[in-house]
Structure 1
């Protein structure tokens, strides 16, 4: 195949008469091993030069082409890498661009043959002696560069050896030429040394002598072969005897096997019978063990049955015995019986017998606990009726202590008597649900009637417990009527003095007292609900692995004295820090617990919402108090899955709705505010009400850790938007009826707003503060422009005419030549504008401002007067500039200076 490939490449790429391929091998690149190329050593017969060609194949045309050609002169180093397992070698070239190429042969012998051929070429041609070969193996007939350099060659013999026939034709026999080995060369040299007397001229005689020697050697070989025939015959005889002996041994072995066959069959039969017996014994033992275990598990003695039937469940000793017997009965009922044994009649009868015992005891246990729960419920109801005057909730500790010894029985009932277990849950929920309904109703009624607050600046009042409910209700209704009348009042009676009563200090005191009131309620409710939840968890075996504990310090003891660790710490996480471990329980257990607690506290949310609604009707600001306190109470809770946390969350939704409704009413009140029926309005009532509300709200949020800040900020922006709209609307409506300038109404209210908003320090109102300031400046400019007019009226009219002439094309310096605007006319106008008349006009203007301003003591008059003064000075300077431009070098000046004008303004302000 190699010869055929070489012929194809030589025919397609090289000239037959001038170039021929010395050696060709397939190679691949180390990085692209899937594509095969060819390296060919080519000799040029005409130039006697050698070259290395990289040949590639075109996949589309299926033809070969030369990719690159390097002369042997360009080769610098050949690295054989004989230790490389990938058949890799490397050739470095020198020249303009030094390059190094790496190739990998497909077979190791091809690599060494290729490199050996290159070594021979370098060895034969001294011109290529500078080529270095490195990492050549010592074997395979390679010669190092030193050996090549140490073996000089005759140029004439090398030329003869490399040349072709006389006519230059390529001899195809050279393709099969093989070099002599070292041994053959040594023998040939010795032969030539022995025949040294024969010269080149006696070559024919030497050839004849060699022929004779060859014939002699052939005859000797034939004689040796003939002499060895007898030895071969002897060897054949020995082999024949060995074969015969082997046949005899084989026949003996066959005979012995036939004798032992019967014995083997008997042994196999014995082994099978022994295995069957062993299996039979193993099955009997396993059956005996299974039956023994089944009997021991399903066996239930008469003594245990008697204990379950006749034990006194009130006695602690009998309870222990009954519990042990019940657990033994549960183990027997829950024992897993193999399917094959379940169809046995004895097993079926015994299981039915055990089920009848379990049913009997479960009904007996249910009746006992049913009567116990009923009796405890009646006692608890009597105690709660006796404690209606102290306004406290008490944990049912006595009930828990009486029922907890039966928790193991409830666990047994859940497994062995699910119907009785469900019935007991319903009985407990109905019995104590009624009790909790009455207790919560009394609790909220008591606190609803014993806390009354006016929310109008008066301090909070916690009424004494001795006050009769009738008096409390009467006072509460009176306060409510008073508040409703105040809310309907849109007059100016809500002055700054009243607003000052709603200052931050008063609001802080109000919030602190009401917060303590709410805190007291929550600290009373939390341990009761959490204690009931822990009891239900343990008693009804809803989460048997949970370790729940109620806070060790209840809010109140039985005598009514308060036992607290920290009055300000009412976070639900302090009441349920250990209870948070129960959050990983099963979902079905959580659902059962939720259902039980929902039945027990079915009226809690409605009572709490009614309580909140009561104060919301007194004043909607109470919704904010409840919203902040409950948010602080619920958000830090670690046990987000507890009943109380979820109940508080539902209550918070209602409170948030109440608060939004209250804020919506505030916004609607501002939007629908009517024009006060009086000449001077002053500061509108809803602005001062917003100020009072904002101060109180900020105190609430500040001391509540700002949990509802986004909700409040949203309503702040909405209320301010309504305030801006109502100020503009009322100002325009009032001007149409009472002729009071709308600019003055806006000026007073925006002036108050721009001072009030920074004092509140509410970040979300920064944009409203800038808008109030812009509206204030706009109203001030409009008022000054409208009512200040022009004290220098004649001068202004004169120079308006001057401006018209300038606009018509008259140059300013030529205005004095106009008859109507001559210097004499200007002096007459200046003479008529004396300081005395100006002062008189300014005094009338100041009185007009005093008439428009609602509060003479307000510094707004000074602000307006200062703006008018600046406007007058602006007009004065404008007239002076016109005189200088239109009447240059005329020495015409006004009869008074700016200092005189400032003195007039100052005198008028001091006089009033």
Structure 2
């Protein structure tokens, strides 16, 4: 109050030549948020006129006069009720202002000041209602008792009264004006001193004896002792946080109490920190049980007992954080350093168990399983599928085992990390939002290895939380990387399973908006996902290179290329793995890369020195790719499916035309020459006058291809095609039908050229179109 009084005088009223007589902190009744200060002031010089001034405090802690009323305009002061606990009062000027005081003492002092000014300056013009008699009347009853005596004395004084001269009256008035501020200041100082002494009297600078004993003994080993220490520490904080003016601290009794409180606090802090540090060191040095026999189920370590031992000290940790933040800041680091040793041993044992379950079951030893070469990275031993082989059966079992073991590992790690994060956030007060922490506790408490979706990690922890978890789980990242390397060596395409499993795990953690993700666990899994994507891309790159560089077998009958079979194997396996995946962008990109490599591998046959027809091999392989893609219905490969169909049709057409040139070779060459002359500009009716294409030459060529000779040539062609084409593709009927249609087209073209270029010659082919149809039908029926 003293600082408020001096600030108002200095900043507001002294510059205006006003004298401050009384203040009261008020707010409009029902609107407590907007507090104002009502000040009673008078002019510093005569004629002194009293005013009531309303002062507001702005955001910059500056005082500003909001309104001013001459006290002569005040009509009524209503104290509302005689009850002392009522803080409301009304002041009536032109309208009624309803106020609520901050304390009853201030209200009483303020009304008393108004009453005095009313009698001194306003001749009791203001009406006071519902005001306690002690507030305004003082000892009115005593005055009434002595009224007669006073009147008698006044009469005696009147008999000896001498009127002052004007000069004496002026001197008296001058003297009164000079000492008026001193009189007012002395009254205000006495009232302020009374209030300060009352506050000091009510200040409880006394700590109970039982609390002092609890802090001195510091029994932190028993639940009852911990509860007593918590209560004593809270009581000590209350005593030490009492607001005491700096002048009071010089009092001997107050100083001795404060010194005793500080001594108790420091001694208890040292004992509590030592006790908790010993628990951290003991837990970090604990030994993990050794596995004496193989187990079939993974089980991550649980720190429920360690957390349960430390939870009772949580209130004391909160107290220490407020009492001594410097000492508190070191405890999380000590906890992380000690518990990281225990977690290192447990995590290494956990992953050793996982590796044993993954590869030890088949090979009998972990080291032998780890030394297994990968088919994807070895160019000396490319792995082609061998259905029904023992290696294929083992590989099929291994494929399923990778997913199963990896899912178990992630399922066990999630509640382990979440439980530790929830504990350190609560124990070390790292999360300020208690409501959010409570929700996370309820979600984390239901987590179990069989139900990973129940573990709902928290969102965006403090940076200190992430640092602590990184130190506590310092071995998690390298051990998880090593385990993924083992998974990658299980079989060539295990990188797909790793990618899908990690993707699904992260999507599951982020699936529900109410489940807030763990920053640390997501960071670790995010790094593993990047590693899995890198391994997957390397696998695809190696496979593409393997497909493009695959050597074509140098034999008469090639059939489906190994690169096509490899592509088909990969697509079948990848689609089975990604069947339930929530994200397949990486797989679609891989499919397109592999399809391009397969197409390049097939196209490279055109430059290969093969013993068989290149168009036939390319036709068969493009046909096989097209049929396979039609069966799979993969959206990203629709364009490749259409391209495969187009290339298959093109190469079948080339193969048919080239094959039909053998039975009617001379006839084809003759009419190709005729078409060339027409293209050069020779008129059709002048072709027969060309020496090489005369009627005589045409008759000689036609005579070389009688019906029997054509049929014999077609039979030879049929046997050759049947021998070269792969039976698995079942393309022979399609090719044979295409040849039939092509030969009929050529026959019609030859007849048309004869009619146009050799008009009136009477030259005709020695076999008809019906003969050709009969030849094809008879050859087909004879081979069935």
Q: TM-score, normalised by structure 2?
A: 0.69
Deviation of the 1:837 alpha carbon: 0.8
> Superposed, which structure 2 residues align to 1:85-104 within 5 Å?
none
Is 1:528 the counterpart of 2:429? The answer is no
The residue that corresponds to 1:716 in the other structure is: 591
The residue that corresponds to 2:191 in the other structure is: 282
The residue that corresponds to 2:578 in the other structure is: 701
3-state SS of paired residue (2:204): helix
Please, which of 514, 521, 526 is the counterpart of residue 649 of structure 1?
526
Please, which of 769, 773, 778 is the counterpart of residue 902 of structure 1?
773
Deviation of the 1:385 alpha carbon: 6.5
Change (3 A) 1:801 1:291: closer
Cα deviation 1:455-505 (Å, max 9, x = unaligned): xxxxxxx95xxx9xx824377369x359579974459x7578889x89xxx
The residue that corresponds to 1:296 in the other structure is: 204
Cα deviation 1:41-67 (Å, max 9, x = unaligned): xxxxxxxxxxxxxxxxxxxxxxxxxxx
The residue that corresponds to 1:318 in the other structure is: 225
The residue that corresponds to 1:619 in the other structure is: 491
Cα contact 1:753–1:769 (8 A) shared by 2 = yes
Cα contact 2:447–2:455 (8 A) shared by 1 = no
- Gapped regions of structure 1 (runs ≥ 5): 1-254, 453-461, 557-563
User: What is the rounded CA distance, in whole Å, between the counterparts of 2:674 and 2:274 in structure 1?
Assistant: 116
Please, which of 756, 762, 771 is the counterpart of residue 885 of structure 1?
756
Between structure 1 and structure 2, the one with the greater Rg is: 1
> Superposed, which structure 2 residues align to 1:680-759 within 5 Å?
680-705=557-582, 707=583, 709-733=584-608, 735=609, 738-759=610-631
Cα contact 2:374–2:489 (8 A) shared by 1 = no
Deviation of the 1:652 alpha carbon: 1.4
Cα deviation 1:841-860 (Å, max 9, x = unaligned): 2233234334543x345423
Deviation of the 1:678 alpha carbon: 3.8
The residue that corresponds to 1:763 in the other structure is: 635
3-state SS of paired residue (2:364): helix
User: What is the rounded CA distance, in whole Å, between the counterparts of 1:819 and 1:531 in structure 2?
Assistant: 100
The residue that corresponds to 1:394 in the other structure is: 301
Deviation of the 1:680 alpha carbon: 3.4
> Superposed, which structure 2 residues align to 1:33-48 within 5 Å?
none
User: What is the rounded CA distance, in whole Å, between the counterparts of 1:386 and 1:267 in structure 2?
Assistant: 104
The residue that corresponds to 2:237 in the other structure is: 330
User: What is the rounded CA distance, in whole Å, between the counterparts of 2:400 and 2:197 in structure 1?
Assistant: 80
User: What is the rounded CA distance, in whole Å, between the counterparts of 2:753 and 2:414 in structure 1?
Assistant: 84
User: What is the rounded CA distance, in whole Å, between the counterparts of 1:804 and 1:426 in structure 2?
Assistant: 92
Cα contact 1:388–1:442 (8 A) shared by 2 = no
Is 1:600 the counterpart of 2:472? The answer is yes
Cα contact 2:555–2:611 (8 A) shared by 1 = no
3-state SS of paired residue (1:285): helix
3-state SS of paired residue (2:559): coil
Change (3 A) 1:834 1:268: same
Cα contact 2:488–2:494 (8 A) shared by 1 = yes
User: What is the rounded CA distance, in whole Å, between the counterparts of 2:657 and 2:630 in structure 1?
Assistant: 28
3-state SS of paired residue (1:667): helix
The residue that corresponds to 2:124 in the other structure is: none
> Superposed, which structure 2 residues align to 1:32-181 within 5 Å?
none
Is 1:538 the counterpart of 2:426? The answer is yes
User: What is the rounded CA distance, in whole Å, between the counterparts of 2:533 and 2:291 in structure 1?
Assistant: 34
User: What is the rounded CA distance, in whole Å, between the counterparts of 1:804 and 1:688 in structure 2?
Assistant: 44
User: What is the rounded CA distance, in whole Å, between the counterparts of 2:771 and 2:652 in structure 1?
Assistant: 25
Cα contact 1:490–1:685 (8 A) shared by 2 = no
The residue that corresponds to 1:471 in the other structure is: 364
Is 1:364 the counterpart of 2:239? The answer is no
The residue that corresponds to 2:448 in the other structure is: 555
- Gapped regions of structure 2 (runs ≥ 5): 1-163
Deviation of the 1:440 alpha carbon: 1.4
User: What is the rounded CA distance, in whole Å, between the counterparts of 2:563 and 2:680 in structure 1?
Assistant: 55
Cα deviation 1:800-859 (Å, max 9, x = unaligned): 565577678775456668888676765554343211111222233234334543x34542
Change (3 A) 1:754 1:591: same
Change (3 A) 1:767 1:346: farther
User: What is the rounded CA distance, in whole Å, between the counterparts of 1:828 and 1:303 in structure 2?
Assistant: 134
User: What is the rounded CA distance, in whole Å, between the counterparts of 1:759 and 1:400 in structure 2?
Assistant: 56
User: What is the rounded CA distance, in whole Å, between the counterparts of 1:672 and 1:821 in structure 2?
Assistant: 49
> Superposed, which structure 2 residues align to 1:18-37 within 5 Å?
none
User: What is the rounded CA distance, in whole Å, between the counterparts of 1:309 and 1:681 in structure 2?
Assistant: 93
Deviation of the 1:633 alpha carbon: 1.7
Q: TM-score, normalised by structure 1?
A: 0.60
> Superposed, which structure 2 residues align to 1:135-534 within 5 Å?
265=174, 268=177, 271-289=180-198, 291-292=200-201, 296-297=204-205, 299-300=206-207, 304-338=211-245, 351=258, 353-378=260-285, 381-383=287-289, 389=295, 391-452=298-359, 463=361, 471-473=364-366, 476=369, 480=372, 488-489=380-381, 494=385, 514-534=402-422
User: What is the rounded CA distance, in whole Å, between the counterparts of 1:486 and 1:908 in structure 2?
Assistant: 50
Aligned pair count? 608
Please, which of 727, 731, 755 is the counterpart of residue 860 of structure 1?
731
Cα contact 2:314–2:426 (8 A) shared by 1 = yes
